[in-house]
Chain A
Amino acid sequence: MSKSIFNSFYQYLIEQYEAFQANLQGTLPWPDALLKHKQQAFELFKKQGFPSTKQEDWKYTNLAGPLQQIFHLSAGNETADLQTALKAASIKDVQACRIVLLNGRLQRAYSDPLPEGVHFLEGAEALHHYYAEEYFASLADPTGIPLVALNTAFVPAFNLLHIQKTTDRPLHIMHFYASHQASFLPERLLLVTEEQVQTQIIDTFHQLTTEPILINYVVEQYLKEQVAMDIFLINALQPNATFFHHSETYLHSQSTYHHLNFSFPGADFIRNNINARLQGSASEANLWGLYVGGGHQLVDNHTIVDHQQPGCNSNEWYKGILQDKSTGVFNGKIFVEKGAQKTNAFQKNNAILLSREATVHAKPQLEIFADDVKCSHGSTVGQMNEEALFYLRTRGLSELTARQLLIEAFAFDILSKIPHKAVAHHVMELLRQHLHLESSIPIDA
């Protein structure tokens, strides 16, 4: 078996590239410096194709299935009436500043006015921004990551979110996707936060189509000194969505980064690469995640915490609840590079299997090249504790309520990390909505 997949979708993309580029040059010409990245990324993708399960990072995540059909390159002119959708997608009581995107393009008419010091640039404005040349494709290096190469090559434009001042309410980026045929929807964001900024960002994803879509969302984030940033990624997409997300974050000294990653049953295929590079001393990265799998879903979270400088801390905790025939994959890497002394790096990963057909693959991984460090990881796979259940039953709770309580307690470790009450409430609602414990009860000896 080969290390790559060169299927008909791959052929389609390779054939379409020139026409796509020519069209792009006609409508939205890219500056040469960025175009160079695009060209290189295309060459990479052309050579590598899609990764097969022979590649270590894709060992348990077989792309052959989800990518067996052709996802068409979008002409980029879909419109949709977002009014009703927007209402349904907003999070209650959160009072966020909404930034509405349709297939990755800003919809100013539906978006709230941005707070002072926050700039959301698109199209030519983003392409010609001085940060674009500095950071585009250099934070998220496409080498060795085929789906980042794919995104870099095929993304028609990217958005640039530049935050210069502390925001007093969260920015809610709402990603809507519409399409009248099976579509490939690459989307990209470059996010730069200036010194001493504190900000919170919510990312939610919404489908306005029942056509199969392949979302490829790449985020490059650059946190300057003493920044504090929280990201809440909430994925409740519908079936027929294949979701690939790559987030690459660089932290400078004394910056703090919280990334909270929630996914729920729906999208057939979810792959998140969440990477944090601690490039400045005394910076801190915290990656928390809760995933609930259902149906035939595959949820794959790959994370990298890369300690490059001394005195940094990182904490990571991913929890998974797997129902039905779902598969969960967790791969957490911690690197401590030479000279990154006084590092504290902790990682935990727990999974609960609620069904006979559910599967989990976990690979917590440490690679350490410095000695004065404290690093640990823990990983468990199991199910609900029968004794705890029994205890709750003796207190008069029904089997179902007892199970619900235990699962919510399991999820609580992650939910309690959400500093924003309304967001926490929203996620809890999603959790309750997607758990169907009644079908999970009989696991007998």
Chain B
Amino acid sequence: MPTTDQDILQKYSDQEYEFGFETRVEMEILPPGLNEETIRFISAKKEEPEWLLQWRLKGLEHFRRLSQEMPEWQNFKLPYIDFQAISYYAAPKKRKLNSLDEVDPEILATFEKLGIPLEEQKVLAGVAVDAVMDSVSVATTFQEKLKEKGVIFCSMGEAVKHYPDLVKKYLGTVVPYSDNVFAALNAAVFSDGSFCYVPKGVRCPMELSTYFRINAANTGQFERTLIIADEGAYVSYLEGCTAPKRDENQLHAAVVELIALDHAEIKYSTVQNWFPGDKNGNGGVFNFVTKRGICKGPYAKISWTQVETGSAITWKYPSVILQGDHSVGEFYSVAMTRNRQIADTGTKMIHLGKHTRSRIISKGISAGYSQNSYRGQVRVGPRADFARNFTQCDSLLLGDKCGAHTFPYIDCQNPTAILEHEATTSKIAEDQIFYLNQRGLDTEKAVALIVNGYAREVLNNLPMEFAVEAQKLLAISLDGSVG
């Protein structure tokens, strides 16, 4: 058993990526490249209406403009991305599935390895999985039960076909195609994703869940998720990500839009474990995602919870626009980086309505040579009387080669607002370890206990199914250093 810090760090940083396997399914892949033709091809392939094609083309237009000058404000050097070298469409060839049994057994095996209860679901019940593998929704379960309640939960592709009015009404209203370069790219080429609509007054009877998985080499994943909770509705949505091991960097530029109307509540939970690259920083996923929710009506609530342990670079800011009076935004995050990983993540809380409240709890853990940044903005507009924010962002450093950074922006234009921000950075105190040693825990277990306790506030906000997995992920990530 490693005893010195050095051993612990060594073992820990040598940890291999557990989910690095590849499913060999026949794929239909578009040759690399991005132009109008690509978009027309995707749109035609998916049998989309004309308005959506036009919308995509506008996205391309903005992408071309925005990609002239790539952003530089982030706390890392953006690696050069050759957008023309990426293939924008990949789908498993076999389609037209009527039941789970028809799904390619290899795909099912993949999910099984990941521990998604797609098969066990029938027994476990309570989780409807819309499994997305490289862009096309492969299997959707529990449709029937949801249908009874009037909840629409399907792939984006199906939603465009069956509920075009809803999609047209809300698509791009929270994250417009001109938002940023990656959102524009997503708008142009988004392949699939999940769509969810919870009608008035309905409390979604189960946790909705999708699993995203990047499979084929050189395909970016550009899914788009749109969740709408109508007046008084409630939905809890889980998103999990793992990607097989690859040497080349893969781009993941998703967009998530949440819309909560009067008195509605959306809870969105993410466990992200994309391939982080090897210990020298080769390969790994670029996770450049735009996530934003809007509390449109009074007393609406949106809550983001994320556990980020993977990706070579994680760069995202799940945000909430608090438009309705008395609406609430929450952000709970654990970001763990090691080896050469980079995380630049945080949130934006934009207070527009009166009596709006937001709460931000961010816990960063950095190890190895990694750089972990929290970047967040709390903005209070002139009309947001009695807005309230509390922010806490803590960083834990394991090792002396890593970095922890905080960049909070606090902008207040209203004298009745109360905003609080606090941040700390430290390592695990010797005396805490000593105390636990004294109680018979070895150093590894002691560190595990402390880290777990450190992240507890966030993990507690995850739904049961995820909390277990997240804890396991953290443990795996800390393996060697803490056991």
* Chain A residues packing against B (C-beta within 8 Å): 56, 60, 338-339, 341, 351, 353-356, 358-383, 443, 445
Complexed CA–CA distance, A369 and B404 (Å)? 7
Can you list 19 A-B pairs, Cβ within 8 angstroms, ordered by A? A56-B73, A358-B415, A360-B410, A361-B410, A362-B410, A364-B408, A365-B405, A366-B404, A367-B403, A368-B404, A370-B400, A371-B398, A371-B399, A373-B426, A377-B423, A379-B419, A379-B421, A381-B380, A445-B385
**Contact between chains at B402 and A371 (CB < 8 Å):** yes
Q: A443 with B426: in contact, given A56-B73, A367-B403, A371-B400 (CB under 8 Å)?
A: no
Q: How far is the CB of A379 from chain B (nearest CB, A)?
A: 4
Residues of B within 8 A of A380 (CB): 418-421
Chain B 386-407 interface residues, beta-carbon cutoff 8 Å to A? 386, 395, 397-407
**Contact between chains at A338 and B400 (CB < 8 Å):** yes
**Contact between chains at B423 and A364 (CB < 8 Å):** yes
Q: A356 with B415: in contact, given A373-B426, A380-B420 (CB under 8 Å)?
A: yes
Interface 1/0s, chain B 357-400, versus A by CB < 8 A? 00000000000000000000000101001100000000101111
Complexed CA–CA distance, A368 and B427 (Å)? 11
Residues of A within 8 A of B399 (CB): 371
Interface 1/0s, chain B 295-339, versus A by CB < 8 A? 000000000000000000000000000000000000000000000
Does B413 interact with chain A (Cβ within 8 Å)? yes
**Contact between chains at A361 and B406 (CB < 8 Å):** no
Q: A355 with B415: in contact, given A371-B427, A377-B423, A445-B385 (CB under 8 Å)?
A: yes
**Contact between chains at B419 and A381 (CB < 8 Å):** yes
A362-B421, A443-B416 known, 10 other contacts, Cβ within 8 Å = A353-B417, A359-B413, A361-B409, A365-B407, A368-B403, A382-B418, A382-B419, A383-B416, A445-B385, A445-B386
Q: How far is the CB of A66 from chain B (nearest CB, A)?
A: 21
Complexed CA–CA distance, A364 and B405 (Å)? 11
Does B411 interact with chain A (Cβ within 8 Å)? yes
Complexed CA–CA distance, A353 and B417 (Å)? 9
Taking a contact as CB atoms closer than 8 A, the residue among A354, A359, A366, A374 that contacts B423 in the complex is A366
Residues of B within 8 A of A351 (CB): 412
Q: How far is the CB of B39 from chain A (nearest CB, A)?
A: 29
Residues of A within 8 A of B426 (CB): 373-375
Residues of B within 8 A of A381 (CB): 380, 410, 412, 417-419
Q: How far is the CB of A437 from chain B (nearest CB, A)?
A: 13
**Contact between chains at A366 and B406 (CB < 8 Å):** yes
Nearest residue, chain A, Cβ from B399:
A371
Complexed CA–CA distance, A323 and B253 (Å)? 44
Nearest residue, chain B, Cβ from A333:
B407
Q: How far is the CB of B275 from chain A (nearest CB, A)?
A: 26
Nearest residue, chain A, Cβ from B430:
A372
Nearest residue, chain A, Cβ from B420:
A380
Residues of A within 8 A of B416 (CB): 383, 443
Does B431 interact with chain A (Cβ within 8 Å)? no
Residues of A within 8 A of B38 (CB): none
Does B414 interact with chain A (Cβ within 8 Å)? yes
Q: How far is the CB of B219 from chain A (nearest CB, A)?
A: 34
Give the top 3 A-B pairs by smallest Cβ distance, nearest first: A353-B415, A371-B397, A362-B410
